[in-house]
Amino acid sequence: MAITGVMRPGHVCIRVLEIEPAVRHYVDTIGLREVMRDTAADGSARVFLKAWDEADHHSVVLREADEAGMDYMGWKVDSEATLDKLSADVEASGLATDMVWMREGEHPMTGRRFRFTVPTGHVMELYAHRETPGCAVGYLNPDPWPDDMHGMGARRFDHCLLYGDDLAGTFKLFTEVLGFNLTEAVVAGPDEQMIGAFLSCATKAHDVAFIQQPVKNKLHHVSFLLDNWGEVLKAADIISKRRVSLDIGPTRHGITRGETVYFFDPSGNRNEVFAGGYTWYPDKPVIKWTAEELGTGIFYHDRKLNEKFLSVFT
């Protein structure tokens, strides 16, 4: 099946308390590359970054602000026609608020973006065009990785896990309007109320996940892809070597089956680097996790949830 409509996560804008330590973290530790800097309309400093295997101009935006957390997450759609259709669908759904078009060029090398707020309070964007300077190894007889890979050498920005209160509303918008599929659900109670939703717009185990919590618009983590378990272990070495604030791991997720390590950026935003996970196809049954086994779902080796996973977010 061809991937149509929303193709993939395209960008995330992360609020950081101080821009320079943040850039050093995302470049030197995670291994992203700084692409350019500008000043946002409100006067705050922005730095645009990309991972070595990404073709598009940028995928991560750091914005200096008074609060940590996530400004917004952007989704690349397959065409301008799809952008027109989906923006109209979002508007007609009645599920989104604060809808606004961001002008072409507001993000460098990027077309117009349709911005809206989903019921859990998170700001999402759809866009169809971004210039593609290309990845670090090129596209003609390429080597598998570049010589100037550094830090953890993250390949791409992969997904976000977000905390919010109206999971049902956000789930409805992502699945019924934007065409996402539920890959795994966490359910609680006798009536199996959904308290966690892992959503895919293409063939990954998840492109975004939402966990029901009595908060609005909170970021649990921003995740980057590595190649294999060995790279995850080496990432943990780098976390210790650079005195980065470790959260948990390296370990294995039951949910999505990824191999993972969690840590924090200098402003307290949680990061993940991970490898593995399965390929999702439209005929794959939804995996269900019960709330009692959520610990196993999140941390497969420990089989128990630590308090930090639920209570620490930005």
Q: Any catalytic annotation for residue 184?
A: no
Which residues contact residue 282 at a Cβ distance below 8 angstroms, ignoring those fewer than 6 apart? Answer: 1, 181
Quote the least distance from Cβ 220 to another protein, whole Å: 11
Report the residue number, 17 or 137, with the smaller CB distance to another protein. 17
Quote the least distance from Cβ 168 to another protein, whole Å: 25
Which residue's entry shows tokens 């999505």?
256
Quick check: 185 and 37 in contact, CB under 8 A? Answer: no
Exposure string for 153-162, b = 16+ CB within 10 A, e = fewer: bbbbbbbbbb
What is the number of alpha carbons within 13 Å of residue 76 lying toward its C-beta? 23
Catalytic residue (choose from 54, 231, 259, 272): 272
Question: Residue 227 has which token pair?
Answer: 């190649």
Q: What is the Cα Rg of the chain in Å?
A: 18
Catalytic residue (choose from 25, 58, 107, 253): 253
Report the residue number, 83 or 162, with the smaller CB distance to another protein. 162
Report the residue number, 63 or 130, with the smaller CB distance to another protein. 63
Quote the least distance from Cβ 270 to another protein, whole Å: 7
3-state class of 56 per DSSP? Answer: coil
User: Cα 279 from chain centroid?
Assistant: 17
Quote the least distance from Cβ 312 to another protein, whole Å: 4
Cα–Cα nearest to 86, from 105, 60, 114: 114
Q: Any catalytic annotation for residue 262?
A: yes
Report the residue number, 66 or 283, with the smaller CB distance to another protein. 66
Catalytic residue (choose from 206, 220, 231, 259): 206
Question: Residue 221 has which token pair?
Answer: 């983590």
Report the residue number, 27 or 177, with the smaller CB distance to another protein. 27
Applying CB under 8 A, the residues found at the interface with another protein are: 17-18, 66-69, 245, 247, 264-270, 308, 311-314
Quote the least distance from Cβ 313 to another protein, whole Å: 6
In this structure, the number of other CB atoms found within 10 A of the CB of residue 68 comes to 20
Quote the least distance from Cβ 71 to another protein, whole Å: 13
Catalytic residue (choose from 122, 221, 231, 259): 221
Q: Any catalytic annotation for residue 206?
A: yes
Q: Any catalytic annotation for residue 272?
A: yes
Report the residue number, 87 or 217, with the smaller CB distance to another protein. 217
Q: Any catalytic annotation for residue 221?
A: yes
Reported in sequence order, the residue ranges of 165-237 that DSSP labels E, i.e. its strands, are 181-188, 193-200, 208-212, 218-225
Catalytic residue (choose from 159, 220, 231, 259): 159
3-state class of 282 per DSSP? Answer: coil
CA distances from 72 to 29, 171, 236, 238 (A): 23, 17, 28, 28
Rounded Cα gap, residues 265 and 24, in angstroms: 10
Which residues are catalytic, by number? 159, 206, 221, 253, 262, 272
